[in-house]
Amino acid sequence: MQPTSLKDNVYRYISHRIDTGELTAGDRVAEQGICTALGVSRTPVREALIQLASDGYLDNEPRKGFRVRGFSRRNAEEVFEIMGPLDGEAAFLACPQMDDEALAQLRFLVGSMDLAIESGLVRRYDEIQRDFHNTYVERCGNERLKTMIAQLSRCFIKQDYGSVDRETARALLQRANDEHKRIVGLFEAGDARGLRTYIRDVHWATENAQYNAW
């Protein structure tokens, strides 16, 4: 295992602040503030900021520095249009590799998402559903595809349900998890083609993109 670099430490520090909502869309990320907080020079901070911009976390504005990227509905729709075919293909390729242990893991994660929904833990739900998708993506056998999906996944810095009431948000999450249950059923049936179509056309339908924009 390669040792963690200073740049990697800075990257994790900033991305964690964004993921947890400490930094939100439009906030400026001050280089000197990061240097002081972590006790590092400007070089690893600058390298981390450039990488974060490349990965979709930040915008690099000329003469203004780095700001947390906002995510419009059209941005989200574009990501959905790309993610659907990629995620569907990953499931298609992974289907023959999903043994009993992997299927049990998917079922466990679906149950955990139900519990998160019942408890109103939206952020926890989001973390679990990422684990759900990663369970089969990691078994697709295509490293380039895995990298592309990981890069797109970084666009979804947080789920935003603040524009709808609590009950509507709960209904939206439950519908999404019902789709996860359908995905599990298709894996259990060994229906690789059905998985690819369902994930592409239903689970990543662009009308759902509005809830990933802010």
The tens digit of pLDDT for each residue in 20-46 reads: 778 887 899 999 999 999 999 999 999
Q: What percent of the chain stands above pLDDT 70?
A: 90
168, 173, 176, 182 alpha-carbon torsion, rounded to 10°: -110
Least confident of 36-50, 100-114, 200-214: 200-214
Spatial CB neighbours of 73, under 8 Å, sequence gap ≥ 6:
209, 210, 213
Which strands, in side-by-side order, build the sheet including 65-68?
28-29, 65-68, 58-61
Q: Under a CB-based contact definition with an 8 Å cutoff, are residues 202 and 80 in contact?
A: no
pLDDT digits (tens, 9 = 90+) for 38-80: 999 999 999 999 998 887 788 888 888 899 887 677 778 888 9
CA-based max dimension of the chain: 55
Instruction: Report pTM.
Output: 0.74
